[in-house]
Amino acid sequence: MITIRVAAHLNDVVEDVLVWIDTAFDGHLVFSKAQIRKLNLEPLVETEAILADGSKIAMESYFCDVHIRYDMKTVVIT
Tens digits of residue pLDDT in 16-44: 888 877 666 666 778 888 988 888 888 88
Give pLDDT, residue 16.
86
For residue 42, give the H/E element and its range: strand 42-50
One-letter identity of residue 70: Y
**How many CA atoms, within 13 angstroms, populate the side-chain half-sphere of residue 32?**
6
Tens digits of residue pLDDT in 46-57: 888 888 999 999
Q: Confidence band (pLDDT; 50, 70, 90) for 71?
A: low
